[in-house]
Amino acid sequence: MIPQYESALLISDLHLTPSMPLTAQRFFDFCEKEAPKVDSVFILGDLFEYWVGDDAVLQSPFHQEVKRAIATLSTKIKVYYLHGNRDFLLGSDYLSKSGMSLLSDPSKIEIAGQDYVLSHGDSLCTADVGYQVYRGWVRKSWIQKLFLKMPLSWRKSIAQQLRSNSSASYQRTQSLVAANLPEKGDVTTAACAAILRDQAGDRLIHGHTHLPAHHQESLGEQSWQRWVLSDWDLDHPESIRPRASALLINPDGVRYLDLIKT
């Protein structure tokens, strides 16, 4: 049975890390202020900047603080989590201790009597063939088991290198936003249509692209609505602008909640 609630807040791409204290503090405030006002919260991936295994959390006061904040929230409302491209190794130990329930990608939910299909969004960027090949390999269970058997220092070094490459790519992408983002850096219409056909839905919510917007789209005789969630960054306003928002769904409809002005 799919999750069913009268109200929900959906967030993604917070990329929480100790080096971004303002963003982290806004998440802690979100857990205390906005989140308890709804029935459920859905975190659609990339809650953390990177994840190299649940065992690494034992050495990280920061990740323990995030866990406590979510665990406290989980005693008040239901919290769901869906893996992102940076934290797909987040495992059952951290999930259980934080009180989050894991959703598969994609998943269908029902909020205020309407069905929505949820995805992190990276699997929908099918024009980026190289990334999809990489994604296919790193999501293999045997690859993940080998990686998690490596010494923690090795895993952190690999993650830092991947993070540096990803950050450089993201900065290049952001410079192209005003000049029409190339399809390779965004989800494709065909991929969105396919996931909605498979899930028998016509409302899609995802993150990953950092391009928050509401879209009305169609392909052939198929039509749907698509909401893209914002990333969060209150620590680097010089890059574009401070940003943090959530998607609020309740009986009044669907709207973006600006978490900077509140």
CA distances from 44 to 104, 117, 178, 208 (A): 10, 11, 26, 9
pLDDT tens column, 1-25: 899 999 999 999 999 999 999 999 9
Residue 1's pLDDT is 82
Residue 27 contacts by C-beta under 8 Å, 6 or more apart in sequence? 14, 16, 66, 69, 232
Query: What is the DSSP code (8-state) at residue 165?
Result: H
pLDDT tens column, 148-200: 888 888 888 888 887 766 544 444 444 444 344 556 679 999 999 999 999 99
User: Pick the residue with more confidence: 49 or 168?
Assistant: 49
pLDDT tens column, 204-218: 999 999 999 999 999
pLDDT tens column, 104-157: 999 999 999 999 999 999 999 999 999 999 899 988 899 989 988 888 888 888
Pick from 193, 27, 207, 227: nearest CA to 105 = 207
Boundaries of domain holding 150: 4-258
Question: What's the token pair of residue 191?
Answer: 């991929």
Average pLDDT over residues 60-68: 95
Please answer whether residues 117 and 106 qualify as being in contact, where contact means their C-beta atoms are separated by less than 8 angstroms: yes
Q: What is the count of structural domains for the chain?
A: 1
The whole-angstrom separation of Cα 196 and Cα 210 is: 21
Tokens 């269970």 belong to 141
pLDDT tens column, 80-109: 999 999 999 999 999 999 999 999 999 999
The whole-angstrom separation of Cα 260 and Cα 246 is: 10
| Per-residue burial over 10-34, b = 16 or more CB atoms within 10 Å of its CB, e = otherwise | bbbbbbbbeebeebbebbbebbeeb
Burial of 222: CB neighbours in 10 Å, binned 0-12, 13-18, 19+: middle
CATH number at residue 12: 3.60.21.10
